[in-house]
Amino acid sequence: MSSRDGYQWTESSGLVKGVPSIGVIQPPTNIQTEHELYDVIVVGAGYCGLTAARDAALSGLKVLLLEARDRIGGRSWSSNIEGYPFEMGGTWVSWGQPHVWREISRYEMRDQLEISHDYSRGVNHFSLNSASGSRNMSHEDEDALMESALKKFANVDGQYGRIVMPFPHSESHNPEAAKYDKMSVADRIAQIKDDLSSEEHTVLLGFVLLCSCSTPEKTSFYEYLHWWALCNYSYEYCIEYLIKYKFKGGQSSFAINFFKEACSTGRLSYAFNTPVASINDDGNGVQATARDGRIFKASRLISAIPMNILKDVTFSPPLAAGKLDASTTEHVNKCVKVHAEVRDRDLRSWSGITYPNNSLMYAIGDGTTPSGNTHIVAFGGQHNHLQPEKDIDKTMDALKALTPMDVERVVFHNWADDEFAKGAWFFSPPGLVTEHLEDLRAPQGNIYFANSDWAVGWRSFIDGAIEEGTRAALAVKRDLDRSRSAHL
């Protein structure tokens, strides 16, 4: 089955909207009767919503899962083109991410992981292209350069961030860290600019802006420190945890297990292609109204809607001020993730940064397709005026500006223009996390809010989505149990 989401291009087909994915759900609904009263409605079938729906169904609750798209996975899903998965959103996982590893173990998928990078053959080098020139270096030299730059960047306390953020899964342990949320990446670089070589400056910005897919002025230094702390205050573990291990069959091969287990309980109803227009809590229960006018009712509701589009759904009573302010502000990640299948097999061991003079700034060799071609994955941002679906030739030029390549296929998802996300993984502007994290996490009447965007641990990652879905399902179960006990 093909999803409406995503695009692919080949010379013979031209640009085509929609890509095949095993995450597309058929039939799109299993609802048998209207006017059913559910225990809980879950809005959104990304990893957070899937986890919440599964856990709630397993706990004995009658669950309705509503999803605007035709597929599961939200911002983490894979296409399956000619036997090869191209990851359209979230990709990498690690045993250093506790919630995701629990689920990998649960579904016995430990042997379904592979390493993205293969430095055993081919060019086996890193390309650094900056305003001051271009050169290739070994991956060992790349790692040394990155480590030096990132340590200088994070070393706000003489211990590379260990003192200011000792408990990254519980940020409130050191309120002193909050002052760094007033700083942007640009502010921090201004503090250390005299300690950075020109190459350190380039790789630092290339790496940090890969994390945020925004500009230095709009990127929170605090949020980067949080990522750094989660990665053991080390560039080595940034690679280990963030960009090394992925599923052989793609993310959708993982997500489908959550959905299947929820279905196996016999307590999950679902409707895909069902964008929710409004959510009303009258104090006795919750009503979700779809754009097409269908109405669904439940005692409780879990909103797994991403932060940037919370404001696009009408809530009654209205969203609390902190939630609305956060959604109106928006997180800054407007990533465009572009995959290229290239005939240059030697590029399997290549990686590179081109900054600031290219709309794609970071890329790596990320696999070998069944035909033996190299798979390159590249990242850019809409702030660089990259919109591949509107100008594929500009995108091709941006790919070739990273390093010479003979492109056979391009696959991408423009998250910035996705109406159900309005951005890729969460990355905050200065001030948003410390001002609104608790606002976003708080329930509102009979409505619970859960999303990776406001996880306390691996915020913005698949791990954070599972963390949040687990939290919300348990909170609803406890709430309903208390309510029912009170009426006995």
Q: Which residues are annotated as a binding site for FAD?
A: 67-68, 276
Q: Half-sphere exposure (CA, 13 Å, Cβ side) for 259?
A: 29
Beta strands 351-354 and 335-342 are: unpaired
Beta strands 84-87 and 335-342 are: unpaired
Binding-site entries for substrate: 379
Collapse the DSSP code of 94 into the 3-class scheme (helix H, G, I; strand E, B; otherwise coil) and give the result. Answer: coil
- Provide the β-strand partners of residue 134: 129
Collapse the DSSP code of 315 into the 3-class scheme (helix H, G, I; strand E, B; otherwise coil) and give the result. Answer: strand
Decide if 258 contacts 54 (C-beta within 8 A).
yes
Binding-site entries: 67-68, 276, 379
Collapse the DSSP code of 274 into the 3-class scheme (helix H, G, I; strand E, B; otherwise coil) and give the result. Answer: coil
End-to-end Cα spacing for the chain: 48
CB neighbours (10 Å) of residue 33?
6
Helix H, strand E, coil C: the string for 306-357 is CHHHHCCCEEECCCCHHHHHHHHHCCCCCEEEEEEEECCHHHHHCEEEECCC
Decide if 450 contacts 52 (C-beta within 8 A).
yes
Instruction: Locate all alpha helices (DSSP H) within 155-250, ordered by sequence.
Output: 185-192, 198-212, 221-230, 235-242
CA distance 180 to 223: 9
> Token pair of 82, please?
């000619």
Collapse the DSSP code of 314 into the 3-class scheme (helix H, G, I; strand E, B; otherwise coil) and give the result. Answer: strand
CB neighbours (10 Å) of residue 37?
11
Decide if 222 contacts 178 (C-beta within 8 A).
yes
